[in-house]
Structure 1
Amino acid sequence: MGSVGSGAESEPAALDTRLAGRLAELRTERRWSLEDLAGRTGASRSTLSRLERVELSPTAVLLGRLCAAYGLTMSQLLAEVESEPPLVVRAGRQEVWRDESVGFTRRSVSPPHPGLRGELVEGVLGPGGDIAYDGPPVAGLEQHIWVLEGVLEVTEGGRVHELASGDCLRFRLWGRSRFRCLGLEPVRYALLIVLP
C-alpha cells in the first residue's frame, strides 16, 4: 500500500485524507461513477470506493492508472493535495510517498509549481522491486532518469535500458513503461519530468 508523508513524517494521515478527497473530487468533477472509473483504470469498484473513504492507500501502479485517467502526472496530483509549494523546498518539507508492496519510495524534491513545466523526483526502489505503468498520464511526457546509486532497468517504447550509477536515460514517454531494480541493493535515481 502506498502512503504519503513529508520528509519529517509529520502528517501522513492528513495527506492520505487530502489525497483521497482530491481523487473523489476529480471523479465527481467529471461526473463519473465508481463503475466508470473502474472501467478506465482496471481497478475494482470496491477498491476505488475504499480509496476515496481513506480505508486504503493506492499502490504506485494504481496511482499511475488514476493519474492517467485524469490526465495528471503523479507529482501534479500530489502537489494538489499539499499546501502551496514554496520557492525553496527544504529537505524536511519534501513530500514522500511510499508503496511498501514493491519497496518504492518517491520524494518530490521540486514539486510542480504554477508557471513551471518541470519537476524533480527522487526514486528509491528496493531489491527485486518492479513497477509497470500502463501509460503516461500525459502523452509525450519528457523524462530524464539519472541513476545515483545501484542498477536500474527501464523499459520504454519497447526498448530495455540497463542503467548503472551515473548513467542518464532521456526520452519522451508515449506508451507503457517499467522500472526494475536489478541489484542486490536498492537503486536510487533522480527523475526530471517536463510537461510537453
Structure 2
Amino acid sequence: MNVEALLAKRVRDLRKAHGHTLDDLAEASGVSRSTISLIERQEISPTAVVLNKLADALGVTMATLFSDESEGRTEEPLARRAQQQTWKDPATGYLRRHVSPVGFASPLELVEVSFPPGESVTFDNVTRHVATHQQVWVLEGEMAISVGETVWHLKEGDCLAMVLDQQIVFRNPGRRHARYALALTTVPMTQRITK
C-alpha cells in the first residue's frame, strides 16, 4: 500500500473506531470537514501540520498514522531500509522515513527526517490528548527548533529533548539539507513526566 493510501485508510479507520463523523473530527482537530474527506478519498496529500492536528484529535501520535495496523502485530523486530515507509510533506518538501519496525510492540518510535534549507513547519497543538515525549538528534546540518518561547539552535551531534505540549517550530536556517532522527514515545496523561 502506498503512503497516501495508507494515510487515507488510517485517518478513516481511526475516525470510525472513535465513533467520529467527519464533522466531529473537523471540530476536534480544526481541520475542515472537506479537507478530511479529501484526505480519506486520497484526493489531496495532507501536510505535516494537518496530519499533526488529525493525530492529536484522534489521540495518537503522527507516527501512528503511518503504521499499517492491518498487518497486525508481529514478533519481527527488524525493519529493513527498503521496507521503511517514506512520506514527503507537500508544503515544505521535508522527507520523513518511519524507521521503527511496523507492528512490533514497542513504546518507542524512530523517525528520520531530511529537512530542506530555508523551510519551516509549525505545530500549533498546545493541548494534546496524549503526552508525547520526543528527542531530536541532528545527524547532518543544523536546525532551529522553537519550543514555546525558547529557540534552540542545534548543530550536528546535538540532541534536544522536549514534551510536545506547546507550539513547536522546526526550521532549517542552513544552506543545505538537515538530517535528524526523532525518537518519540507517548505516556498516558495520568503518568505524564514533568519537564
TM-score normalized by the length of structure 1: 0.85
For 1:182 and 1:110, locate their aligned partners in 2 and report how far apart those are by CA, in whole Å.
28
Residue 176 of structure 1: aligned partner = 167
Residue 5 of structure 1: aligned partner = none
Output the amino acid matched with 1:123.
Answer: V
Higher mean C-alpha deviation, range 28-37 or range 172-181: 28-37
Displacement after TM superposition at 1:82 (Å): 6.6
| Contact kept? 2:6, 2:66, Cα under 8 Å | no
Output the amino acid matched with 1:96.
Answer: T
Report which of the two has the higher share of strand: 1
Q: Deviations over 1:123-158 (max 9, x none)?
A: 111012111112275543221111011110111132
For 1:138 and 1:119, locate their aligned partners in 2 and report how far apart those are by CA, in whole Å.
18
Are residue 55 (structure 1) and residue 43 (structure 2) matched? yes
For 2:168 and 2:11, locate their aligned partners in 1 and report how far apart those are by CA, in whole Å.
23
For 2:6 and 2:58, locate their aligned partners in 1 and report how far apart those are by CA, in whole Å.
17
Residue among 149, 169, 173 paired with 2:140:
149
Q: Deviations over 1:154-178 (max 9, x none)?
A: 1113211010111111122222211
Residue among 38, 50, 59 paired with 1:71:
59
Residue among 120, 123, 148 paired with 1:130:
120
Residue 165 of structure 1: aligned partner = 156
Q: Residues 176 and 71 (structure 1 numbering): CA distance in 2 closer, same or farther, change over 3 Å?
A: same
SS of 1:195's equivalent in the other structure is strand
For 1:101 and 1:155, locate their aligned partners in 2 and report how far apart those are by CA, in whole Å.
19
Displacement after TM superposition at 1:113 (Å): 4.4
Q: Deviations over 1:35-58 (max 9, x none)?
A: 222222222221111111111121
Cα root mean square deviation, aligned: 2.0
Give the number of equivalent residue pairs: 184
Residue 8 of structure 1: aligned partner = none
For 1:81 and 1:17, locate their aligned partners in 2 and report how far apart those are by CA, in whole Å.
13
Residue among 101, 104, 110 paired with 1:120:
110
SS of 1:97's equivalent in the other structure is strand
| Contact kept? 1:141, 1:173, Cα under 8 Å | yes
| Contact kept? 1:144, 1:168, Cα under 8 Å | yes
Higher mean C-alpha deviation, range 146-155 or range 29-38: 29-38
Structure 2: which 5+ residue stretches go unaligned?
188-195
Structure 1: which 5+ residue stretches go unaligned?
1-10
Displacement after TM superposition at 1:66 (Å): 0.4
SS of 1:194's equivalent in the other structure is strand
Displacement after TM superposition at 1:81 (Å): 5.0
